[in-house]
Structure 1
Amino acid sequence: MKTLVIGAGVLGLVTAWNLKKDGHEVTIVDKIGTYAGASHRSFAWINANHKLPESYHRLNAAGVEAHEDLQKELAAHGTWFHQLGCILSDSTSDAPVNYDARVQESTEFGYPVETIDRDRLLELEPEIDWPTDAALFFPKDGHLDNFTFGDLIRDLLAEAGVDIDVREVDNVESTSSATEVAFAEGGVESFDQVVIAAGAESGPIAQRSGLTLPVAPLDSPGPRTHSLLGITAPTEVALSRVVISDRINVRPRSDGSMFVQVPPVEHRTEEGESTELLDEIGTVMEESLQELFDTSIPVEEVIFSGRSFPEDGVSIVGYLDDAHRIYSLVTHSGMTLAPLLGRLVANELVGGKEELLEDFRPSRFRDGIVPEDTDNFIGRQ
């Protein structure tokens, strides 16, 4: 089967790799290049933590397990998934209530969680000046070396004879026998099936094709679709795992640096990207890091990061057309879900039907779009 994957982010790469393993003739295109979109700017916290509704939690929990399995399968190529857990810390006056609610929810969903005291906090992360005496620990969570992982899948594709073509798709049109793909620079090519996995660009491609794929546009920045992601200089300060809180989010990177987010300033994404904003946020991040670690850690870069975000907040996975030739693969939490969705989508393209995906079909938008019910919780990405 001749299959086109549009988008060379983490979802597109892993899907293309699974399709190639299954014997498809695969072409993958991206208008900018590999990992140029949201995959390039991801905090890459692998988790199923407070992912609602329950069907979305189950999907993300299966995504975590898929990372475990893929790391074992490809262990000879190195380590990119670090399943060392996540600490969630709440320094607000509502902490006891918030902790109880999160524990109850996780317990009902069967997702492991522990309430830990100060001694355990210092055992897990001894260099943090903890502002609280209690926190939650989610042992199934982890973090991904996203570039290491992306480079590996790209290299495996290249070894199999699949390179990423830098080309922009204008529109796609299906018939009973093929899908015609028109490229922005001119030219039309035919494929048996097309997977649209272009992140926030997926919506405009679908719209130009007369299809419904409600993805939040990036032209009106705000905390729903954008984030401010800092990268520190490499540091001797030890950090082993993801730490999420009401004040600051941090996680280690493979070169000894850290990713950092400061939730109280995320609303400033509404101002739009500017040098002045990024400089100011960098200063705030350094102050927050000083408070957390009681030492100075320089922030070398702040990224104004756009997200791939379905309008109702959960994945859009399935066929967009009656001929079942144009398949949507758009989701938030792409880093968590990529190994799972890449496998499930490949199965469905040859006629399979995956139960885990039933609540996430594009057909749910036939009667209109129900906007996401915004919940500003600790750990919201």
Structure 2
Amino acid sequence: WGYAAEWISATQLRELAPDIDPAAVGDAPVAWFPEEGWVDPVVYAHSMLAAARRLGARVEIGARMVRVELRFGRVTGVTMADGRTHGADLVVNCTGRWADDAGLDPALRIPLAPTAGLLAFTPPVAVGLERLLKAPGCDIRPDGAGRLLVCRNDDEFDPATAPRPGVDLPEMRELIRKARAILPAMGPVEPEAVRLGIRALPKDGFSAVGPLPQVEGYYAAVTHSGVTLAAFLGTAVADEVLSGAVRPELATFRPARFFG
């Protein structure tokens, strides 16, 4: 894949992440991915919305779409909960977990197999972690203002039966304890917030990006890791939607595979 990866020594690990307790690592092998990073979803979304407004887009926050108008094989717009209808030359379905909403015509639904996971957020802690950290049992990354985001990497829930998120969940307290064993400088903290994240997983686990067969005026962009992929997918989708280009990188991820 051409993605940089290398095994590093304990000395190199200390240089990259001095807050990691060497005892927590022991003699386990350590891999470093120098090109790895993350996108801050709050900052990213704000900057994209601001840019869209500057370019003349109208952004409606809290507006709810109830129906995609499909007539004779062509999408012509959307109807909102307040009764307004927006006509459109093309509608892009980038609704993530709700891309298969029951309110959509079956010809427009991307089949999904969503799973859910619990995310714990710490209060500000005296940890200088600057990289993503994947360890047995949990993933950790900075979340701004001195906070850390910690999630289990060994659990998946059905969104319909997932635990109700709360800072008092025993499994979330245990998750923070696991993180503290790796980063002792966290100190004796408890979760400041717990959220339930729902993964927008297409049925086969791979991104679904592109037009749908037998339907004109409709384009889907649905994927897990959507925030991480947003910078690329935003450019690729814009190329296809606005200029009619065909991006070869998307060839194996077309939604048509679900409608064969």
TM-score, normalised to structure 2's length? 0.87
Aligned residue in 1 for 2:252: 359
Aligned residue in 2 for 1:210: 107
Mapping for residues 310-349 of structure 1, pairs under 5 Å: 310-349=202-241
Aligned match for 2:96, one of 199, 209, 222: 199
Aligned residue for 1:203, secondary structure, equals coil
Cα separation, 2, equivalents of 1:304 and 1:164: 26
Q: CA separation of 1:164/1:301 partners in 2, compared to 1, >3 Å: closer, same or farther? A: same
Aligned match for 2:4, one of 87, 112, 124: 112
Q: How well do the aligned residues superpose, as a CA RMSD in angstroms?
A: 2.4
Aligned residue in 1 for 2:18: 126
Contact in 2 for aligned 1:227/1:304 (Cα 8 Å)? yes
Shift of 1:110: 1.8
Q: CA separation of 1:289/1:155 partners in 2, compared to 1, >3 Å: closer, same or farther? A: same
Please, which moves more after superposition, 228-237 or 199-208? 199-208
Contact in 2 for aligned 1:228/1:305 (Cα 8 Å)? yes
Shift of 1:251: 0.7
As a proportion of its length, which structure holds more helix? 1
Shift of 1:262: 2.7
Aligned residue in 1 for 2:65: 169
The alignment status of 1:258 with 2:154, answered yes or no, reads no
Q: CA separation of 1:275/1:313 partners in 2, compared to 1, >3 Å: closer, same or farther? A: closer
Aligned residue for 1:338, secondary structure, equals helix
Shift of 1:269: 6.5
Aligned residue for 2:99, secondary structure, equals helix
- Paired residue type of 2:77: E
Aligned residue in 2 for 1:66: none
Aligned residue for 1:284, secondary structure, equals helix
Contact in 2 for aligned 1:174/1:323 (Cα 8 Å)? no
Which stretches in structure 1 are left out of the alignment for 5+ residues?
A: 1-108, 218-224, 368-381
Shift of 1:216: 2.5
Which stretches in structure 2 are left out of the alignment for 5+ residues?
A: none
Aligned residue for 1:263, secondary structure, equals coil
Q: CA separation of 1:164/1:209 partners in 2, compared to 1, >3 Å: closer, same or farther? A: farther
Task: Show CA shifts across 1:121-144 (max 9, x none).
Answer: 111111111323330001110122
Equivalent residues, number: 251
Task: Show CA shifts across 1:3-27 (max 9, x none).
Answer: xxxxxxxxxxxxxxxxxxxxxxxxx
Shift of 1:277: 8.2
The alignment status of 1:150 with 2:45, answered yes or no, reads yes
Aligned residue for 1:142, secondary structure, equals coil
Cα separation, 1, equivalents of 2:205 and 2:182: 31
Contact in 2 for aligned 1:196/1:327 (Cα 8 Å)? yes
Task: Show CA shifts across 1:74-108 (max 9, x none).
Answer: xxxxxxxxxxxxxxxxxxxxxxxxxxxxxxxxxxx
Q: CA separation of 1:347/1:268 partners in 2, compared to 1, >3 Å: closer, same or farther? A: closer
Shift of 1:302: 1.2
Please, which moves more after superposition, 181-190 or 235-244? 181-190
Q: CA separation of 1:258/1:327 partners in 2, compared to 1, >3 Å: closer, same or farther? A: same
Shift of 1:243: 0.5
Contact in 1 for aligned 2:7/2:31 (Cα 8 Å)? yes
Shift of 1:204: 1.1
Aligned residue in 2 for 1:140: 35
Shift of 1:366: 2.5
Q: CA separation of 1:114/1:286 partners in 2, compared to 1, >3 Å: closer, same or farther? A: same
Please, which moves more after superposition, 313-322 or 198-207? 198-207
Cα separation, 2, equivalents of 1:290 and 1:348: 46
Aligned match for 1:301, one of 180, 189, 193: 193
Contact in 1 for aligned 2:167/2:194 (Cα 8 Å)? no
Aligned match for 1:232, one of 108, 114, 122: 122
Aligned residue in 2 for 1:377: none
Q: CA separation of 1:195/1:205 partners in 2, compared to 1, >3 Å: closer, same or farther? A: farther
- Paired residue type of 2:97: A
Structure number with higher relative contact order (C-alpha < 8 Å, ≥ 6 residues apart): 1
